[in-house]
A and B are shown apart, each in its own frame.
Chain A
Amino acid sequence: MVSGVTLPLQGDTVLLPERIGELTGLDQFGVGGELLATFLAAFIVGNIMLAMTGVAGPWAKRKITAAFTDRIAVNRLGPAGLLIIVADSVRLLSKELIIPEDADRPAYDLAPLVIASSALLGFAVIPMGSGIHLADPEVGLAFVFAVAGIASIGLVMAGYASANKYSMLGGLRAVAQNVAYEIPLVVTGMSVVIFAGSLQMSTIVDAQAQTLVSLGGLDIPAWYALVNPFAFVLFLVANFAEVGRNPFDTPEAPTEIVAGYQTEYSSVYFVLIYLGEFIHIFLGGAIIATIFLGGPAGPGPAELGIVWFIIKIWGVFFLTQWLRSAVPRVRIDQLIEIGWKGLLVLSFANLVITAVIVGLIA
């Protein structure tokens, strides 16, 4: 722990399950009660994320892209077309589920679940402010990277099990891409760990609450994006590749390989994969917010933490949509080249330099 830091936003150890346990009296029922409280807490967090995805997928994505491309987008159902979310849900869930004859069944069915749930798991250790924090293990950051990485397995399963050549190509591309970008991502994340001295998420957030400089009475916090902007940019880029967004959306690449690994998925399965992708973007945003942007920190009372946190996540989401509208896709070989020859080298350089500087100051 970094000494001498007050913890204005984070109740030191009070996590959401504990708080729910206290409020509902469930904590009096021993392990069973704790378990139930934890489920309740997870239910709340899960629903926040799903609600955000629900807004983002059918509505915000369309509105943002439309703004970039001189269009209006959905505006017929409800205020600003918001009820399209309901209409789209009905539409998507009532579609026929078509499963290819040669599909490798258990794998084909499991893939959408793996993709969607792996991303949701990551939120377990993210401190979202306002006391919404499910668990705070000492290896929090490692845990997030680990569970987010599980999605790759889902992509391979989807690509291989669909018995479609386009899916196969997409699955292979997804693996190549994730292997190439996971390493720079983790290594860049490590440079933050060097600053904070801990993998624990709450510690990383707390460490960023310090004041970097004071400009005319305005305290600029020591967010790691400001302390080490280079690492921030590296992490952003690697993150876009990791979640497969433009300009690194080669695993889906609609104009090349139709829809990649999700070509043969329809109806609910399609919704799950789509959902998984959005949650992955949000998880990427949550990681960036937590380790580079001070987590839920922001002006105003600590209770507003969740608001700031969601704004930061949406900032990252907005960036992905901006890139989608404006930046061409790189070719698969160029993508691999950028990963192995560019980002990997830079991220290690960043790690070494950060370590040396931090060592000298200490």
Chain B
Amino acid sequence: MSTGLEKRTTQVEVTEDDLEALLGDRVLGRDDHLNAPGFVIRPDDVQDVLADLRDEAGFDHLSCLTAQQYPDRYESIYHLKKYADPTQEVSVVVPTSTDDPVSQSAEPVFRTADWHEREAFDLVGIDYEGHPDPRRILLPETWQGHPLSDGYDQEKPQIVTLSEHANPIQPDHHDEESDTMFLNIGPHHPATHGVLHVKTVLDGETVVDIDPDIGYLHRCEEQMCQQGTYRHQIMPYPDRWDYVSAGLLNEWAYARAAEDLADIEVPEYAQIIRTMGAELCRIASHMLALGTFALDVYGDFTAVFQYAFRDREVVQDILEDLTGQRLMFNYFRLGGVAWDLPEPRDEFIAKTRDFLDELPAKVDEYNDMITSNEIFQIRCHNTGVLEPEEVKDYGCTGPVARGSGVDYDLRRDDPYGYYENLEWDVVTEDGCDNYARVLVRMQEVEESAKIIEQCLDLLEDWPEDDREVQANVPRTLKPDADTEVYRAVEGAKGELGIYIRSDGTDKPGRFKIRSPCFHNLSALEVMSEGEYIPDLVASLGSLDIVLGEVDR
């Protein structure tokens, strides 16, 4: 553990000039974003440039890939960061022609580009040359057209047929000694935490190959956000991405991006309420993660699951008092929050304090029942191992990354809200296994409680005439045309990023969601291949994915 306020940046800041020198004449031009310098490169230089940025300049985190179509070109934007210091960012912009949108695949450099480029192909229609697996990812295989490209006919009904599932490696194993079995885990299965379909190939009880098939819960969230106005119509959507109680954390992701885009200041008082609400959501979300992981390992709706839900219920009640809702909060506004703490204030604060006071005893109970249980330990130690290098390769963040010893938490490393003024720690564990991820989540619950405690102290003593919950924001927001920003917050599952390009109207020109679960789930293959089915199920549980956020 390290202290929250301590930056542990040892890397020297790389200036824009350094980058320009590094990339040399591969840079065709500049296309700066609000958050980072943007370098325009040729489509066949992608691997070269990304490899140089990673190896020479230390940009080891491919945070997101945004694809979009302009009237005269397609564009792929690779948003790069550093795990050591996420405030150092760079965007690599790759334009391709409208007639023949072919760009080099970044998959050989960053493994996580695999799924991202499939999505870009699926929704926008850019082809990535050299991609190992150029299939659609969210939409069915037989879908016609690319929904986020220009000229796509939304009205046209489509009937999609599915081909029979085949064992992808049957030929390799179909000899006399060995035999494999293809097994569909999901879309309806007790352990998939939503509608996930894992195409699994088994050799006996051992997992040989998995291929997560996502998209069952794809609800066009990006497009719906592109059709809403900045001021009010977008904010309800984030609640529906990670819909299992992490609502305020998601809202903050949009709020942060949009506030940077439109240059809105948030009053300090509102920041404290936001911070408190977000941490309450984190506790609720981690409780759920703990309960469902126990469900996967214990095998039934057992005591641990019910206890976790009992305690989460208290948090839900507090959030209901604060926001008026239990799941779909819609509480944040651009420039602040919807309203102040509920009256009577003292009662709300006392109720929240009661919860915090009881929490340590509950955490002890969980430790008794889960982490110190020998059977739980033999089930979780050294299963679902995810090495730190793989974490970075797959762009994993949140408790998954911290459970593998990658000390990365945007609340501290890229401060927002009120976090930098509070005393708390970032929790990391070096176990790299399912057990370490459970430990991280349990300790983060305690850290969140610390943050809430301090927020309550501040809110209690805040002078009554200075309780400004919202800045003065114009009724209609029209950011300057072609302003681009990519901003991320630390959601319950990891780095939740939003890319917005404004087109001069009151609605975003492009709205891209970087979902932490999307990245974390893509790492499931390295965690589970070669292990047993029960470990596959446990690993999936320990990733704590929410399909609403994976599929968007």
The answer on a CB contact under 8 Å between B376 and A325 is no
Residue B416 lies at the interface, judged by CB distance under 8 Å to chain A: no
Question: What CA separation (Å) do A249 and B534 show in the bound complex?
Answer: 12
Chain B residue contacts of A328, Cβ below 8 A: 294, 297-299, 373, 375-376, 379
Per-residue A-contact encoding for B528-552, CB less than 8 Å = 1, 0 else: 0000111101000000000000000
The answer on a CB contact under 8 Å between A70 and B310 is yes
Residue A165 lies at the interface, judged by CB distance under 8 Å to chain B: yes
Residue B183 lies at the interface, judged by CB distance under 8 Å to chain A: yes
Question: Least Cβ distance of B494 to chain A in Å?
Answer: 24
Q: Which of B493-552 contact A (CB under 8 A)?
A: 532-535, 537
Question: What CA separation (Å) do A249 and B307 show in the bound complex?
Answer: 22
Chain B residue contacts of A71, Cβ below 8 A: 306
Residue B12 lies at the interface, judged by CB distance under 8 Å to chain A: no
Per-residue A-contact encoding for B350-391, CB less than 8 Å = 1, 0 else: 000000000000000000010001011011000000000000
Residue A138 lies at the interface, judged by CB distance under 8 Å to chain B: no
Q: Using A328-B375, A328-B379, A330-B379 as known contacts, say yes or no to A254 and B303 having CB atoms under 8 A apart.
A: no
Q: Which of A146-182 contact B (CB under 8 A)?
A: 165-166, 169
Question: What CA separation (Å) do A333 and B206 show in the bound complex?
Answer: 10
Per-residue A-contact encoding for B209-247, CB less than 8 Å = 1, 0 else: 000000000000000000000000000000000000000
Chain B residue contacts of A329, Cβ below 8 A: 297-299, 375, 379, 534
Q: Using A331-B532, A332-B534 as known contacts, say yes or no to A254 and B190 having CB atoms under 8 A apart.
A: yes
Chain B residue contacts of A255, Cβ below 8 A: 190-191, 295-296, 299, 537
Chain A residue contacts of B373, Cβ below 8 A: 327-328
Per-residue B-contact encoding for A243-260, CB less than 8 Å = 1, 0 else: 000110110011111100
Q: Select B375's contact among A256, A258, A330, beta carbons within 8 Å.
A: A330
Question: What CA separation (Å) do A324 and B306 show in the bound complex?
Answer: 13
Which residue on chain A has the smallest CB distance to residue B192? A255
Per-residue B-contact encoding for A68-95, CB less than 8 Å = 1, 0 else: 1111000000000000000000000000
Residue A44 lies at the interface, judged by CB distance under 8 Å to chain B: no
Chain B residue contacts of A257, Cβ below 8 A: 533
Chain B residue contacts of A165, Cβ below 8 A: 181, 183
Which residue on chain A has the smallest CB distance to residue B200? A165
Q: Using A246-B300, A328-B298, A328-B373 as known contacts, say yes or no to A256 and B306 having CB atoms under 8 A apart.
A: no
The answer on a CB contact under 8 Å between A326 and B369 is yes
The answer on a CB contact under 8 Å between B181 and A325 is no
The answer on a CB contact under 8 Å between A253 and B302 is no
Chain B residue contacts of A324, Cβ below 8 A: 300, 302
Chain A residue contacts of B537, Cβ below 8 A: 255-256
Question: What CA separation (Å) do A329 and B532 show in the bound complex?
Answer: 14
The winner among B190, B205, B537 for most chain A CB atoms within 10 A is B205
Residue B189 lies at the interface, judged by CB distance under 8 Å to chain A: yes
Which residue on chain B has the smallest CB distance to residue A66? B306
Question: What CA separation (Å) do A254 and B191 show in the bound complex?
Answer: 8
The answer on a CB contact under 8 Å between B378 and A334 is yes
Question: What CA separation (Å) do A257 and B183 show in the bound complex?
Answer: 10
The answer on a CB contact under 8 Å between A331 and B534 is yes
Question: What CA separation (Å) do A299 and B376 show in the bound complex?
Answer: 41
The answer on a CB contact under 8 Å between A256 and B369 is no
Q: Select B299's contact among A68, A169, A246, beta carbons within 8 Å.
A: A246
Question: Least Cβ distance of B189 to chain A in Å?
Answer: 6
The answer on a CB contact under 8 Å between B297 and A169 is no
Question: Least Cβ distance of B297 to chain A in Å?
Answer: 5
Chain A residue contacts of B191, Cβ below 8 A: 255-256
Chain A residue contacts of B181, Cβ below 8 A: 165
Which residue on chain B has the smallest CB distance to residue A326? B303
Per-residue A-contact encoding for B277-317, CB less than 8 Å = 1, 0 else: 00000000000000000111111111101110010000000
The answer on a CB contact under 8 Å between B303 and A256 is no
The answer on a CB contact under 8 Å between B189 and A325 is no
Question: What CA separation (Å) do A327 and B369 show in the bound complex?
Answer: 8
The answer on a CB contact under 8 Å between A249 and B379 is no
Question: What CA separation (Å) do A257 and B207 show in the bound complex?
Answer: 13
Q: Using A255-B191, A256-B537 as known contacts, say yes or no to A69 and B298 having CB atoms under 8 A apart.
A: no
The answer on a CB contact under 8 Å between A332 and B532 is yes
Chain B residue contacts of A69, Cβ below 8 A: 301-303, 305-307
Question: What CA separation (Å) do A327 and B374 show in the bound complex?
Answer: 9
The answer on a CB contact under 8 Å between B310 and A253 is no
Which residue on chain B has the smallest CB distance to residue A337? B378
Q: Which of A237-290 contact B (CB under 8 A)?
A: 246-247, 249-250, 253-258
The winner among B183, B299, B307, B310 for most chain A CB atoms within 10 A is B299
Q: Using A256-B191, A328-B379 as known contacts, say yes or no to A333 and B306 having CB atoms under 8 A apart.
A: no
Q: Using A169-B205, A330-B379, A333-B532 as known contacts, say yes or no to A258 and B299 having CB atoms under 8 A apart.
A: no
The answer on a CB contact under 8 Å between A332 and B205 is yes
Question: What CA separation (Å) do A241 and B534 show in the bound complex?
Answer: 18
Question: What CA separation (Å) do A334 and B379 show in the bound complex?
Answer: 9
Which residue on chain B has the smallest CB distance to residue A322? B303
Per-residue B-contact encoding for A314-354, CB less than 8 Å = 1, 0 else: 00000000001111111111100000000000000000000
The answer on a CB contact under 8 Å between B534 and A256 is yes
Which residue on chain A has the smallest CB distance to residue B307? A70
Question: Least Cβ distance of A62 to chain B in Å?
Answer: 11
Q: Using A70-B306, A165-B183, A328-B379 as known contacts, say yes or no to A258 and B300 having CB atoms under 8 A apart.
A: no
Chain B residue contacts of A254, Cβ below 8 A: 190, 299-300
Chain B residue contacts of A333, Cβ below 8 A: 205, 532
Q: Using A254-B190, A254-B299, A333-B205 as known contacts, say yes or no to A247 and B306 having CB atoms under 8 A apart.
A: no
Question: Least Cβ distance of A41 to chain B in Å?
Answer: 38
Which residue on chain A has the smallest CB distance to residue B306? A69
The winner among B183, B303, B369, B378 for most chain A CB atoms within 10 A is B303
Which residue on chain B has the smallest CB distance to residue A173? B205
Chain B residue contacts of A246, Cβ below 8 A: 298-300
Chain B residue contacts of A247, Cβ below 8 A: 375
Which residue on chain A has the smallest CB distance to residue B536? A256
Question: What CA separation (Å) do A275 and B299 show in the bound complex?
Answer: 21
Question: What CA separation (Å) do A69 and B537 show in the bound complex?
Answer: 23
The answer on a CB contact under 8 Å between B534 and A327 is no
Question: Least Cβ distance of A250 to chain B in Å?
Answer: 8
Q: Which of B301-342 contact A (CB under 8 A)?
A: 301-303, 305-307, 310
Chain A residue contacts of B296, Cβ below 8 A: 255
Question: Least Cβ distance of B385 to chain A in Å?
Answer: 15
Question: Least Cβ distance of B186 to chain A in Å?
Answer: 11
Question: Least Cβ distance of A278 to chain B in Å?
Answer: 16
Question: What CA separation (Å) do A258 and B369 show in the bound complex?
Answer: 25
Question: What CA separation (Å) do A258 and B187 show in the bound complex?
Answer: 12
Which residue on chain B has the smallest CB distance to residue A250? B534
Which residue on chain A has the smallest CB distance to residue B373? A328
Question: What CA separation (Å) do A144 and B183 show in the bound complex?
Answer: 38
Chain B residue contacts of A258, Cβ below 8 A: 189-190
Which residue on chain A has the smallest CB distance to residue B376? A328
Question: Least Cβ distance of B406 to chain A in Å?
Answer: 27
Chain B residue contacts of A250, Cβ below 8 A: 534
The answer on a CB contact under 8 Å between A68 and B297 is no
The answer on a CB contact under 8 Å between A331 and B379 is yes
Question: Least Cβ distance of A27 to chain B in Å?
Answer: 50
- Nearest 6 Cβ contacts at the A-B interface: A69-B306, A329-B299, A255-B191, A328-B298, A328-B375, A331-B534
Besides A254-B299, A332-B534, 13 more A-B contacts (Cβ < 8 Å) are: A68-B302, A69-B302, A166-B183, A169-B533, A254-B300, A256-B191, A257-B533, A325-B302, A328-B294, A328-B376, A329-B299, A330-B375, A331-B535
11 A-B pairs with C-beta separation under 8 A: A70-B306, A70-B310, A166-B183, A325-B302, A327-B375, A328-B299, A328-B375, A329-B299, A333-B205, A334-B378, A334-B379
